[in-house]
Structures are given as structure tokens and as C-alpha cells.
């Protein structure tokens, strides 16, 4: 990148903000933003996904259908990347619209599992194999998770821990002393689930 070690160089424009950014392979860096009114558009709506190329320093927008705001992510053993959860569908001003918003064309992302297989420059980028798979009707979490944690396990599985049931920055919607706050998701689950359900995590519950 930079001509001199320890220095910076202009890498161009990512077109979307990097709320999540990861190295896909030796050629590409992938970027996920939250749903918002970005100037860059794709398929008639603001973009919140992109891929940046090391060699050309050019960015290509990518279609992502659900709201990735505060999703968690992790590399999978086969080289793919998964982004888990996120926020509900939002519209102008960041107001929640539930499961779908017709202005930004975003779906509720709180149970989403998005899978990407990183491609190289010689691959067919028009193929679905090089695009984000983002369809909660086919693949989804068992619980809504905003701001969850994703941790890789030795057996290649991913454990999804905690989070909130929706955006809001607090785990109690109303003042109370209940051990399990109504806005918190004090459980964990696995990806792939392989028949395993959701387990309460006492560490996250007030004694």
C-alpha cells in the first residue's frame, strides 16, 4: 500500500462507512455499514455493503438486504465469513419500521445470518457465489440479537452470545429489578445449530 513502511497512502473511497470490515482474501477487503441514507446507491436504494480491491484501490458496491447495524461477525473454517444479527428495519432519521422499510429497502436484521464466500478478481462477480447470501426465510438465528458477540470454537462452530432484542443501548426498557431485563437477550446459541437450541447464560443474568 504505502511506499514507505510506517507511512500512510491514499487508498481511495470505500463509498460506505466501515462499521464492520474484514479481509476476504489477498485481493479484497469487505465492508459493511448500517442502513442509512448513503449517497452511494445500489438497485435503487442506499448501499450499506461494499468490497475494496488492493490492486486497483477501487470500491464496488454490494447488495445486502437486511440491516447490519451492530451485527457481529466471524470467519468460518472454509474461508467464508458470516455476519450475525443486527437491527430492525429503519427509515429516514433512523426510526424503526419493524420488519421492512420501503424507503431504504431494508429488512429486519436482528435474526439474520449473512454468508459471504470471498471471490478473487478472476471470478464471475455476477454470480450469486460471489455475493452476500442474506435471506432470513432460509437461514436465521433462533433469537433476535443486536450487539451480540460471535466467538469461534475449536471445532469450527461459532457461538453467538447475548445481545439486545432491539437497538436502544439499554437492557431495561423500564426501571425494574427483574433478573432478566426485557430488552436483553441473555442466551447463547451456535452456528451451525445442528439441532441445538438456545441456552440461558446465567453469567449475563442478575443474581
Question: So what's the pLDDT on residue 174?
Answer: 77
Among residues 139, 81, 82, 80, which one has the least CA distance to residue 111? 139
Contact 41, 87 (CB under 8 A): no
| CA–CA gap between residue 49 and residue 21 (Å, rounded) | 10
DSSP at 166? S
Residues 24, 10: Cα–Cα separation, whole Å:
21
pLDDT of residue 204: 83
C-alpha cell at 165: 432484542
**95 Cβ partners below 8 Å, 6+ apart?**
none
Report the predicted TM-score, pTM, of the whole model to 2 decimal places. 0.94
Neighbours of 123 (CB within 10 A): 13
Distances (CA, A) of 69 to 9, 18, 33, 73, 121: 29, 11, 7, 12, 28
Per residue of the chain (207 residues), give pLDDT as tens: 566 889 998 999 999 999 999 999 999 999 999 999 999 999 999 999 999 999 999 999 999 999 999 999 999 999 999 999 999 999 999 999 999 999 999 999 999 999 999 999 999 999 999 999 999 999 999 999 999 999 999 999 999 999 999 887 677 777 878 777 788 899 999 999 999 999 999 888 865
- Write down the pLDDT at residue 167: 83
User: Which pLDDT does position 149 carry in this prediction?
Assistant: 97
Amino acid at each position: 500500500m504505502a511506499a514507505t513502511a510506517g507511512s500512510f497512502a491514499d487508498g481511495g473511497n470505500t463509498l460506505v462507512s466501515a462499521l464492520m470490515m474484514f479481509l476476504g482474501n489477498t485481493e479484497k477487503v469487505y465492508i459493511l455499514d448500517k442502513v442509512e441514507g448513503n449517497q452511494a446507491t445500489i438497485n435503487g436504494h442506499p448501499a450499506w455493503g461494499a468490497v475494496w480491491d488492493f490492486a486497483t484501490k477501487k470500491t464496488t458496491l454490494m447488495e445486502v438486504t437486511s440491516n447490519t447495524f451492530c451485527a457481529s461477525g466471524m470467519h468460518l473454517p472454509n474461508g467464508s465469513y458470516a455476519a450475525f444479527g443486527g437491527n430492525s428495519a429503519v427509515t429516514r432519521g433512523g426510526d424503526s419500521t419493524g420488519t421492512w422499510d420501503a424507503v431504504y429497502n431494508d429488512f429486519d436484521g436482528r435474526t439474520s445470518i449473512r454468508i459471504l464466500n470471498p471471490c478473487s478478481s478472476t471470478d464471475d462477480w455476477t454470480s450469486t457465489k460471489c455475493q452476500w447470501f442474506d435471506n432470513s426465510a432460509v437461514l436465521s438465528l433462533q433469537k433476535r440479537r443486536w450487539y451480540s458477540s460471535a466467538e469461534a470454537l475449536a471445532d469450527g462452530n461459532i457461538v453467538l452470545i447475548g445481545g439486545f432484542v432491539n437497538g436502544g443501548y439499554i437492557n431495561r426498557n423500564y426501571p425494574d429489578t427483574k433478573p432478566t431485563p426485557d430488552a436483553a437477550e441473555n442466551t447463547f446459541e451456535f452456528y451451525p445449530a445442528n439441532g441445538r437450541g438456545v441456552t440461558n447464560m446465567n453469567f449475563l443474568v442478575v443474581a
